Chain A
Amino acid sequence: MSDLALWGLFVAVSLGTFALRFSFIGLHGRLHIPPIFKRALAYVPASVLAALVLPAVTLTGTEHSFTIDNLRIPAAAVAALVAWKSHNTLLTLAAGMGTLWLLHMFL
């Protein structure tokens, strides 16, 4: 991507994100959110994050193939367990990266 396209994208994201954040604060009383949309918003984080994590962990290489010897799968499983028990970002990162490095070392 050219530098111009890259910065264009950043500025567009910035304007769009500001619009989302400012929406109700700026237009209070004039903007009404349908209840069904409000309920749907509650599921955005879980579905988007899972959609980001699962392919990044389970599929490898440029051809996005699933292989049984993919060490990222057990490493992510350990990280998920730590995230569940600790709710701590740093511990989760350390557990996942640590498991991956250990597996690389011994397998």
Chain B
Amino acid sequence: MKKPEEKQAFISGVQALLPLIPGVIPFGLVTGITATEQGLSPLTTMGMTLLFYAGSAQLVALQLLREDVLPLVILFTVLVVNLRFMMYSASIAPHVHSLPRRWKWPLSYMLSDQAYALSILKFTAADASKNVHYFFAGTAIAMWLSWIISVMLGIVLGTGIPASWSLDFAIPLAFLAILVPAIKNSPHLAAASVGGLVAVLAIDAPYNLGLLLAAICGILAGVTLEQLQLKADSSADNSSADNKESS
């Protein structure tokens, strides 16, 4: 950051992330606490946190580790949970692909839901400056620090919490907190209902493949309903056009 306007862009990125921190802390705490309760050492938990740098994926992996699922199935399931990053990568690529590698590699590692959501708005704004990648770096680094620090806090707290508090229930609750706002229309609702139902029915599937099966069925349900709605809309348009012609 040699120029003042680059520094300014970085700082406004950090500032843009600050209001999101209260939403990050509970996730980090739950992650640190459950990992510790499960018997993972602080070093293992921090290693996992740095290597994953993906909260939901880490909570999924912890839950599957608890159930003694095959590592290969855990890997596959976690990557399905992380597929959304590919979508972010595709959407942000036109704005960052020409940066040098020393930018692209660390920013790819730090591409989080929050940093993406804040930065894509800046990149696509009509008055986007050429320093937006500094803004992106600001959001990404601030997010990374908040996540790492809240998991550390969770590890510190985790050792002192009695089992009678049923803190394992915080994992499904944390997922619920992301799930409910993610349901924006009826195809999303269909995806969630089918996914949830199949997961319950397939709970005894071998190697815990039930989760993957449920995810695939849910996605298919969402896409199918979206397709049906598109068809219904276009035929409604056609019939209204017909009515106009006849009247």
Contact = CB atoms under 8 A, between A and B. Distances in A.
Interface of A: 1, 3, 5-14, 16-18, 20-26, 28-29, 33, 36, 38-59, 64, 72, 75-76, 79-80, 83-84, 87-90, 92-93, 96-97, 100-101, 104
Contacts of B193: 50
A1 B71 contact: yes
B94 A28 contact: yes
4 tightest Cβ-Cβ pairs between the two chains A and B: A47-B218, A47-B195, A43-B222, A28-B97
Of residues B92, B176, B223, which shows the largest number of chain A Cβ atoms within 10 Å of its Cβ?
B176
Nearest to B29: A93
Interface SS majority for chain B: helix
Given A9-B74, A14-B51, A50-B218, A39 B109 contact: no
B169 A100 contact: yes
Contacts of B30: 93
B86 to A, nearest CB: 5
A21 B109 contact: yes
A96 B79 contact: no
Given A23-B89, A52-B63, A5 B71 contact: yes
Contacts of A87: 180-181
Interface string B61-83: 10101001001001100111111
B215 A42 contact: no
Interface of B: 22-23, 25-27, 30, 44, 47-48, 51-54, 56-57, 60-61, 63, 65, 68, 71, 74-75, 78-90, 92-94, 96-97, 104-105, 107-109, 111, 165-167, 169-183, 187-189, 191-200, 203-204, 210-211, 214-215, 217-219, 221-223, 226
A13 B51 contact: yes
Contact of A25 (B96, B181, B219, B226): B96
B187 A43 contact: yes
10 contacts: A10-B52, A20-B86, A22-B105, A22-B108, A26-B97, A44-B81, A46-B222, A52-B175, A54-B196, A90-B25
Given A22-B89, A44-B219, A89-B22, 7 more contacts: A10-B52, A11-B51, A40-B222, A84-B180, A90-B23, A92-B177, A96-B169
Contacts of B26: 89-90, 93
A55 to B, nearest CB: 5
Given A43-B219, A48-B218, A20 B196 contact: no
Contacts of A41: 83-84, 86-87
Contacts of B23: 88-90
Nearest to B49: A10
